[in-house]
Amino acid sequence: MDILRIDHLTKTYGSGDTAVRALDDVSFTVASGEFVAIIGSSGSGKSTLLHMIGGVDRPTSGTVYLNGENVFERTDEQLAVFRRREVGLVYQFYNLVPVLDVVENMCLPVLMDGRAVNERRLTGLIRTLGLTGREHHLPNQLSGGQQQRVAIGRALMNAPAVVLADEPTGNLDSKNSAEIMALLRRSNRELGQTLIVITHDEDIALSADRVIALEDGRVASDTRAR
């Protein structure tokens, strides 16, 4: 079953002579539970695509269907709710809120939604992420790898259908990279979450179920692992 359908997605920045076409008529579908790696040179439109799927940015034309629903039919307020419930975003630079501690950062989407924090899920995630004993530390008291694990925890806390990660290991050494990817893979397998990762790392790309290569805002190749 396709959980995600990207339909003739086009995004243009600027206008006139300075107009840049970041995405040019991109279409593909992603099945539920699939692990997709998106690769491409810098400026090929990878991040823009991820922002569209995550409901962070609106396309110039075309649309994205998640679970059969048009993401961009929502108002800005509804999009905010969409972001906190349906997707989990992980960035290269962690992007933690500096004044909140580890647990508060992880539970931010749940709290925004006004729902109760699932204690079992939280403690389980903390254990899995290796953050035990760090629950009440602020981000600046953590190492880069630890911060990225908090960011992943935040993305997984709501058990979203789709996890989107923008070069999640781009800022980490190889040992930490491997750990982070293992974590993401594990939740992808165990919880059946769909995982879309932008990466430059060939190892990561090779471990994915499917690799989509972008070039100048277009899908250059779409390869499934055998």
Partner 1 sequence: MSRSEHVEKGLAPFHANVFTRFTLRSLRANRVRTTVTIVGVALACGLLMAVLASVTSLRAGLLERSRSLDGVWQMSFDYTDDATIGNLETLAGCHLDRLATRQDLGAAALSTDNSVYSGPYLGVLSLPQEDLSLPRAAGDTAHAVVPSPSVEEGRLPEKPGEIALPAYLKGVELTDGPTELEGIATSATSEGELELGSTVTLAAGRRTWLDGHPEPVSSGDPLQIDYAYETDASGNVTSETTTPLETLSDLGAPRAFTVVGFVYRTNNTLLTYQGLAPSRQIFDSLAQMALVLAVVIVVAAVSLIGNAFTISISERTRQFGLLSSLGASRRQLRRTVYTEAALLGAVGIPLGLAIGLAATAAVFAVTAEGWSLMLGDDIAVGLVVAPLDLAVAAGLTAVTLLISAFVPALRASRVSAVDAIRQTQDVRPSRRLRRLFRRRRTAMDDFSADGRRPRGLAARIGGMPVFLARRTLAVTASKSRVAAAALAVSVALLVTAGPLSDYLTGTVGYMDYGNADLMMHLSSQDYSSSNIAEDPVASDLDGIASDIAGVAGVREGSVSGVARATASIRLGENDVNWRGIDTFNERTNRYGGFQLDRQGYGQAVVELVNDGTWRHLADTLGLSGAQADPTSLSCVAFNLVSATNADTYGSISPLTGTAGSVDVLLKPEGLTNDEWLGMGDDGRYSLRRADETSGGVVDVAPASELGLRSVSVPVAAYATDLGDDFPIGSAQLADTTSVTLVMPMSAVEGAGLTDALWLSLTEFYAGFAEGADEEEVISGIQDVLAERGDIGTSQVVNLRESLREYRAMTFTVNVFLYCFIAITMAIAVANVFNTIASGLMLRTREFATLQSVGMGRRAFRRMIFLECADFACKGLVGGVALAALVNWGFFTALSSSISTLSLDMPWGHVALAFAVVVVVLAASTGYALHKTHALNLVEALRADAL
Residue type, 206: L
Query: Which one among 20, 97, 182, 206 touches partner 1, defined by CB under 8 A?
Result: 97
- 138 lines the binding site for partner 1 (CB under 8 A): yes
Helix 119-128 with 144-157: angle, nearest 10 deg: 150
Rounded-to-integer distance, Cα 53 and Cα 67, Å: 12
- 6 lines the binding site for partner 1 (CB under 8 A): no
Chain centroid offset of residue 10 CA = 20
Smallest gap from Cβ 39 to partner 1, in A, equals: 20
- 140 lines the binding site for partner 1 (CB under 8 A): yes
- 81 lines the binding site for partner 1 (CB under 8 A): yes
- 61 lines the binding site for partner 1 (CB under 8 A): no
The strand order across the sheet containing 2-13 reads 20-31, 2-13, 61-66, 69-70
Q: Which residue, 52 or 208, has its beta carbon nearer to partner 1?
A: 52
HSE value, Cβ hemisphere, 13 Å, CA-based, for 30: 30
Q: Which residue, 134 or 210, has its beta carbon nearer to partner 1?
A: 134
Query: Which one among 37, 64, 103, 205 touches partner 1, defined by CB under 8 A?
Result: 103
Beta strand residue intervals within the chain, DSSP E: 2-13, 20-31, 35-39, 61-66, 69-70, 87-90, 162-166, 194-198, 210-215, 218-224
Query: Which one among 2, 101, 215, 216 touches partner 1, defined by CB under 8 A?
Result: 101
Beta strand residue intervals within 92-217, DSSP E: 162-166, 194-198, 210-215
Rounded-to-integer distance, Cα 158 and Cα 201, Å: 27
- 159 lines the binding site for partner 1 (CB under 8 A): no
Q: CB under 8 A: which stretch of 99-107, 176-184, 187-195, 213-221 binds partner 1?
A: 99-107
Interacting residue ranges for partner 1, rule: CB under 8 A:
48, 51, 54, 56-57, 76-77, 80-85, 89, 91, 93, 95-101, 103-104, 107-109, 111-119, 122-123, 126, 135-141, 144, 154
